[in-house]
Structure 1
């Protein structure tokens, strides 16, 4: 296509836009990238018959945008993935995004109709994504297109063009260091900032659990919040009949009106009472910590949590909780089905 012809088309699509394009070969192909020159400066980075890479500068930010129109031939697609992979691997410091028509699904659910078996092409595409340290982002409900971004870019702050996602390895090291520092300072009361609990069914089997922490909170506040977290989880599950047990006597007695936990805890108690009203029936009793080992074990997990975490699937419960002896379960069954007199 003559440049004058494409310029006329681009002017109708986006008046005033700058652009770069790769001409079509015959009746297929042709790639174009357009941008607003008032905000973005663009220049050619690399190109071939099947892709167009443009460096887009917005202030101090720079993205390498790959616009792809992959061939139908699997062999040619593999050559294309290898060519792009070499470019991405030699430019790890740059933020990159790949988008366009890959002519191959990444998942079998993306394929609609046709007789061709795309399993090999799916494997080629997945290998290319992993080798290039890219992440597949779902931009459409049915995921008909792919937009691939370098994982290091995803972890940048939003102000630097990333998504602000935390790197798990770095986060894990930071949390371990925090616990080590707490222990090194001899803060024996660090458990006062954590809380947790478990929810059992009528047979005494654990069906859910939760753990969390609160900074700069008293023991009583956290114990109240632990009960509130459990009631919220039970409400979300749809539980209407509940037997509540806790090892904080001051919280239990305050809910029953037998004591006062103090003005700082009163807002928490108010929220607890509002959730209790939603239950069809409930009992609430104090038990000693020795009989509440599963909940106490979950509270210990809160020390390494960022905020609050719920475990809804019993199979994913922490192993330290699963290994709690069945004594508590037996007690639950005994209360539910008392022996005949």
Structure 2
């Protein structure tokens, strides 16, 4: 007698399940010594029962994390050079721990506000996990300054804000009421602001993701051009799959289809050269991209490569490079029209080469 087939999530549940995959991958990479993150365990239910992931997943998680960390830390440093604190908006944040890592690190005083947005089912679980964990809740501030809202789907503290929304809806309907209403909107138009999308836009239609980026572009452009508003700069980092039309990409797509997950957002980006168009079509001045394959080969120091090579045996180098070649980090900058003095340093915001160090 055959065992019962595991139930495959459908619709939004299938997309939400990808957050669990990412959290388990990070937990595995931390336990194996690739990364340091004391905050991931409280966000993974029954973490002690979870097995390690294969080396290929651990290495991919490491490369992704190192590159994203460098870009985010670089943004914080550039904001500090301008004498301003910055705000970060992480959309589809899921079980991400970035706020806690920043808030307990050397750049904590450079962060004015950290906003996470996701499905209400995700934010409810995260809010509960935060409240149950002394390690997570202690970082938010005094208990009396931390509160749940909207039936437990939202959480607010002096710096960290967890909000529920469906990013596929028109931004005027989903984001504006959360971020821009009231005399003191949660999203300040006068602070350097960084948007984060880690495997989010690829699950959305190109029209929906385009509307999302255009809404932020319009909000900051209209505010920074006002004579009563100080200039602000808008940045964005996108991490996701691309170039899925080749044989290996089609295998990735079919594997996800078997889990009821589709990738409509990958269609406009069939090649590496097409990736910067995500920002250029919205009038952004800076648009750059790197594949994880290139980052591993050219942007991670030899000492680090040697260190992680000692952690686990990896035989499938060709398979690793095939996978990494289909994931990219794309980043861009929209400069305020009345801030010529800001342009040079923000144009240089990037991942630095380290392979020869």
Q: TM-score, normalised by structure 1?
A: 0.24
Larger RCO, structure (CA 8 Å, separation 6 or more): 2
Q: TM-score, normalised by structure 2?
A: 0.23
**Structure with greater helix share of residues:** 2
